[in-house]
Amino acid sequence: MERHNGQSELCTKVTNHREADVNKNEGRSKHDGKLMEKIQERAEATVILVGSVGFLDQPSMVFVRLQEAVLLDSVLEVSIPVRFFFLLLGPPTANIDYHQIGCYISTLMSDKHFHEAAYQAEKQQDLVIAINRFLDCSVVLPPSEVSSSELLLSLTRFQREILQGGEKEQSSQLQEKQISLQQDKDSLVPFKSSEVPLRRSGRLFGGLIKDVMRRYPQYLSDIQDALNPQCMAAIIFIYFAALSPAITFGGLLGEKTEGLIGVSELIIATALQGIVFSVLGAQPLLVIGFSGPLLVFEEAFYTFCKDNEIEYLTGRVWIGFWLVLIVILTVALEGSILVRFVSRFTQEIFSFLISLIFIYETFAKLVKIFKEHPLQNCFHGNNTGSLSLCNYSMTAGSPGKAVGEPNTALLSLVLMAGTFFIAFYLRKFKNSSFFPGRIRRIIGDFGVPIAILIMVLVDYSVEDTYTQKLNVPSGFSVSSPEKRGWLISPLGSDGQFPGWMMGASILPAILVFILIFMESQITALIVSKKERMLVKGTGFHLDLLIIVVVGGVSALFGLPWLSAATVRSVTHTNALTVMSKAVDPGDKPRIQEVKEQRVTGFLVAVLVGLSIVIGEVLRQIPLAVLFGIFLYMGVMSLNGIQLTERLILLLMPPKYHPDHNYVRKVRTLRMHLFTLVQLTCLSLLWVVMATAAALAFPFMLLLTIPLRMLLLPRLFSPRELLSLDADDAEPHLEEKEGQDEYSHLQMPI
C-alpha cells in the first residue's frame, strides 16, 4: 500500500512537471511568434560561435556561406534559416579576446554594405576588401566636449563623403560584374520567375500561350485570396475611384461629341469591359478605364468627321475593326516584348504625368466652381464701410442649377479638402502608435469610404448652400436617344458610308492602338515592379489582346475604348498591399505581400454598372467630394516614384539626403542632372498635350525610349544609369539568383 502511494505521488509529480513544460513551451511559442512578427520576411541568420579549447595550439577560424539557407532549430531561438557560419576556436593561453572578436563579426554582418559583399563574394580576397572598406568608412571619435547634436551634424556630411569616395574606389571588375548581372536578369522586366514573360518564344502566339499556361492555373487562388477584410475596403474605395473618372470624363466626352457619347456610355463601357477583363485577364490588379489621351483623340476625330461630313460613330466602328486586326497581328508576332525597352526612365515620366493630370483636373474644376459662383463683396450700411460676403444667391440658367451662389465655392473647397485630408491622414494612421494594430488597420483600409461618408454628411447638414451633385443617368439608355441607338451600323445610318474611309480608318486605328498599348503596358510594368513582390506574375500579351478586342467590339455599340488606367490601377494595388510588421528601428515599413486576386476588380465593375440603378443615392454625393478622391489618387500615386523623391532632393541640402542606393552611388550634381532631364521631358509632354499638337502625344512619349537608350549613355556612366534607372530591390534577394554557383565554397579567412 505504501509502495502504491509512493508511485502515485511520483506520477503526480511527473504529470505536474510535464504540464509545467507544456505551459512553458506554449509561452515560449507565443513569445517566438511575436518575435517573428518583428523579423523581416525572407530573413536569413548568421551563426557566430567563438570559444577556447585546450586541444588547439593556435587559433583557427572559418567563415562559411551555405548554398541554401537551412533551418537549425537547436541552434537559434527562433525559426530562421541559417545562411552563414562563423567559427573561431583557440587555446586559452592565446592573448585573444574571443568574445570581442565575435562582437566584431556581428557588427560586420549587421552592416548593409558588408553583408551585400558577403553574398557576392567569390573568394577570400573579396571579404578582405569588404572588411577594409568597412574600416575605411568607420570614424573613430576621441573624447570631446562637443555636444552630441553638433557632432552628429558634422559627422553626417563627413561620413557621406567617405562613402562616396569608397564607391569611386571600387574596382572596374566589380562594376562590370554588377552591370552584366543586371542585364542577364532582364532588369527592365519586373517579373522574377523561372520563365520571364517578355521573352520571345519564336512561334506564333507563343507569348499568349505562355501567359495562359502561367496564369490560369492560379485561378482558384485568385478567388480564395479575396477572402480578406482589406479586399472589402478596396472594393468600396476603388468603386468611387472608378466611378468618379467615368462620370467626369463622360461629361467632358459628351461636350466634345455633342452628346453622341456621354456619361451613360462610359459607365456601361467601364462596367462591361471591366467585368470581362477581371474574369479573363492575366493581371487582375489592373483597373480598366478612360483616360485623358483617349479623350484628346476622340475630340480630334470628331472634329475631323464633322468637317468632312462623315458619320462619327460609324467611323469609330471601322477603327474598332482595324484595332482587332492590329492587336491579333501584334500578339501573334509577340509584339508586347517591345515593352522591355520601356525602362524606369519612361515609366516614371508617364506615371508622374498621369498623376499630375489628376491633380491638375482637381484644381481646374475647383477654379471653374469659383468662376461660376464668385464671392460677392458688398458694403454694410454702417459708417465703417467694412466688407463682408453677401449670402444671397442669383439663380439663373437651367432649372435646378444655381449660378452666383457665393457660399457654394467655399463649401466645395471645404468638401474637397476635407475628403482629401481625412483619407490621407487615416491612411497614415494605419502605421501610427494609437489603438491596437487590428483597429488601426481597419481604420486605415476604410479611410476613403470614411472620408466620403463624413463629407456627404457635412454637405447634407448645410441646408442653405447649393452644391453640385453627381449627375448619374436614369436607366440603361444612351445619352442622346434622338441622335443614336445602341447598335451602330458599319455602313452608316443611310448605308452610304464612304468606302475610302473604311480603309483610311487604319491610320487613326494605329494611333488609338499606340495609346492603348503604351498606357496598358506601362501600367502593367508599374504595377508589377519588383518592390511590390508579386508572386503570380502577369500576362502582357493576353491582357493587351483582351483590352483591345473588347474595345474594338464595343465600338459597334457606340461605347468608348478603354485602357488600363495608370492612377486607378496603382491605387488599386496600393489598397491591396499588406505592409510588414518587421521594421528595423528608424526604417520604413516594407511590402509584405499584395492580395493578388480578381474578385475586387469584378465587383467594382459590377457596382459601376449598377450605379445607374442606384442613381437616386449617388445623386446625393457632391462633385466636390469626388474632386477630393481625384486629388487623393493623384497624390498617393506619386508615392513610390523615384522621380518624386529626387525632385524633393533638389530642395534639400545633401547632408539630409536619405540613404538610398542612387544617393550613395551617384554624385549629387549628377543625380540632379538626371532629374532635370526627366523634368524636361515631362514638361515637353505637358506642352504637347495642352496645344493643338495633342495627337502627337503618343509619339512624343515613344521618343523617350530612344532618348534613354541613345542619349543618356553619353551623359551618364553605366554605373550611374544602373543606380538611377534600375529597379531597387533587396540585394540579398537579387544575389541569390546570380551568385549561388559560388555558394558551395568554404572561405577560411
Q: What is the pLDDT of residue 29?
A: 56
Q: What is the pLDDT of residue 587?
A: 57
Number of helices (H), then strands (E), belonging to the chain: the values are: 30, 12
More confident site: 619 or 153: 619
What pairs with residue 288 in β-bridges? 564
Q: What is the pLDDT of residue 328?
A: 92
Tell me the pLDDT band of 512, cut-offs 50, 70 and 90. Answer: confident
**Element of type H or E holding 89:** strand 82-90
**Element of type H or E holding 60:** strand 60-70
Question: 678 with 704: CB under 8 angstroms?
Answer: no
* 0.75 surpassed by pTM: no
**pLDDT digits over 59-110, tens only?**
888 888 888 888 877 777 777 888 888 888 888 877 778 888 888 888 888 8
| Residues whose CB is less than 8 angstroms from the CB of residue 450 and which lie 6 or more positions away in sequence, other chains included | 422, 423, 426, 443
pLDDT at 20 over 70: no
Question: 514 with 583: CB under 8 angstroms?
Answer: no
Q: Angle at Cα 167 formed by Cα 161 and Cα 171, nearest 5°?
A: 150
For 175, other C-beta atoms within 10 Å of its C-beta total 15
Q: Angle at Cα 689 formed by Cα 687 and Cα 693, nearest 5°?
A: 90
What CA–CA distance (Å, rounded) separates 28 from 686? 60
Average of pLDDT values for 4-18?
40
Question: 724 with 662: CB under 8 angstroms?
Answer: yes
What CA–CA distance (Å, rounded) separates 294 from 511? 10
Question: 661 with 116: CB under 8 angstroms?
Answer: no
Q: What is the pLDDT of residue 22?
A: 43
Tell me the pLDDT band of 539, cut-offs 50, 70 and 90. Answer: confident
What CA–CA distance (Å, rounded) separates 598 from 165? 49
Q: What is the pLDDT of residue 177?
A: 47
707-733 burial code (b ≥16 CB/10 A, e <16): ebeeebeeebeebbbbbbbbbebebbe
Average of pLDDT values for 418-434?
84
Average of pLDDT values for 726-732?
42
More confident site: 23 or 343: 343
| Residues whose CB is less than 8 angstroms from the CB of residue 2 and which lie 6 or more positions away in sequence, other chains included | none
Q: Of 8-22, 312-326, 586-600, which range is least confident?
A: 8-22
What CA–CA distance (Å, rounded) separates 249 from 606? 19
More confident site: 587 or 631: 631
Please give the mean pLDDT across all residues of the chain: 75
Q: What is the pLDDT of residue 151?
A: 55
Q: Is 434 exposed, middle or buried (0-12, 13-18, 19+ CB in 10 A)?
A: exposed
Average of pLDDT values for 239-251?
77
The phi, psi pair for 48, rounded to 5°, reads: -115, 115
For 377, other C-beta atoms within 10 Å of its C-beta total 10
Q: What is the pLDDT of residue 276?
A: 92
Question: 115 with 77: CB under 8 angstroms?
Answer: no
pLDDT at 345 over 90: no
Q: What is the pLDDT of residue 546?
A: 92
Average of pLDDT values for 333-352?
82
**pLDDT digits over 556-571, tens only?**
988 898 888 887 888 8
More confident site: 218 or 11: 218
How many residues are present in the chain? Answer: 749
